[in-house]
Amino acid sequence: MTEKIRHSEVIAEESQNFVPLAAAYYICYHEDGRADFMPKKKLKHITPQNYLKYYYDIPFEGKTSAGKPLRKLKGITCPYRGIKIIPSENIKGFEKQLARCKTAKDGVELLANYYDNMLPVEKAIFSIFRDFVLINPEDNLQNCLQMIKTNCLTRLKLEEMEVLDDVDRLTRKLSPQTALKIRTKTTRCRQIILSSSSKDTFKRKTFLSSLEEIIPHENEREIFNNIKNKALFLPTSESSRNAFVVKYSKRSQTEIIRRIFIASTASIEHVVPSSKGGMNTIGNFLLTSASGNRYRENMPLPEYIKRYPKIPEYMQMYIDDIIREIHNGHMKGNETYPYKIKKKLFEESHGRIIVSLSKYKYTEEEAAQAVEEYEHRWSK
């Protein structure tokens, strides 16, 4: 029996956060009870915009083309994670090679080309695959994950419990009424996590949404926001090796390989989230890895820095790369970008990110003049 469902109705798998996809999915139920999640159709024409939206639920550059000058750049350091971002122009070539992957060995050989671009979770998974291939070169990578899934699921449950414990500790600063509402939800989460039922599984996104239903007292809002930010640290396949294994142990080899690759591909990120009123202008955009973008979600930048303390250092590396590209003749007409993004980062991080533009050849006035000259280049 095959049932057509919308992406928002796909049930998260085995203690995993729900990851929405832009395409409609079919659930195909087998006689032995297994269920396969299959996309309705493949992308006929791959672009950076639809690729990340379809496979990773990230709009590449918001609702405008203002991020286009950034996505053309190469050799840029991810300002969130410190890796070199895979340029969007690599996507089509990767997909052609992926279509030819039949065995675990094929998949490892393809991914090896991007090892230096991988994030820690993806590198850890790749290392597991590399060892697996030495013994089982003709097998597939899904079987590799299934072999270690049980142990990873146990560790994942412990990771989830630790975050829920942190949430409960913060509720001590709230009124008894508000604290009880939150603890009722975290207690229910623990019951689901400890349950062996495959139908009643813990869903990170459901828990985060349930917190929005609670209305704290006016004098509790700051603490309550801290609680919601702490809950964002519940493990995902972006942040936890165990979460990755459990989630993708039910996915095909093709999906697993693509997921490892796509995490490091270029994505346009709002410094001030659009949900918080952030503008779709280049002065509010960063070029980040897709994983760094997705994992931040709507987390305030100061909170994200707590999760990744090296972000200020990575931001300087990012700015230095941007300056190099502008000096090499790229991003014409956007010479003011370093000044705009420096100011935006300082404001949004509450002063935690202070980048230096000492390597930049333009003063702020000269940069503005360069932009003006570029905009009027045809009127001369």
What is the SS3 assignment for the chain?
CEEEECHHHCCCCCCCCCCCCCCCEEEEECCCCCEEEEECCCCCCCCHHHHHHHHHCCCCCCCCCCCHHHHCCCCCECCCCCCECECHHHHHHHHHHHHCCCCHHHHHHHHHCCHHHCCHHHHHHHHHHHHHHHHCCCCCHHHHHHHHHHHHHHHHHHHHHHHHHHHHHHHHHCCHHHHHHHHHHHHHHHHHHHCCCCCCCCCHHHHHHHHCCCCCCHHHHHHHHHHHHHHCCCCCCCCCHHHHHHHHCCCCHHHHHHHHHHCCEEEEEECCCHHHCCCCCHHHEEEEEHHHHHHHCCCCHHHHHHHCCCHHHHHHHHHHHHHHHHHCCCCCCCCCHHHHHHHHHHHHCCCCCCCCCCCCCCCHHHHHHHHHHHHCCCCC
Q: What is the mean pLDDT for each group of 10 consecutive residues in the chain (380 residues)?
A: 34 36 43 48 63 65 73 95 94 93 97 97 97 97 96 95 97 96 96 80 88 94 93 92 95 95 93 86 94 86 92 98 97 97 97 97 97 84
Q: What is the pLDDT of residue 257?
A: 97
Q: What is the pLDDT of residue 362?
A: 97
pTM equals 0.82
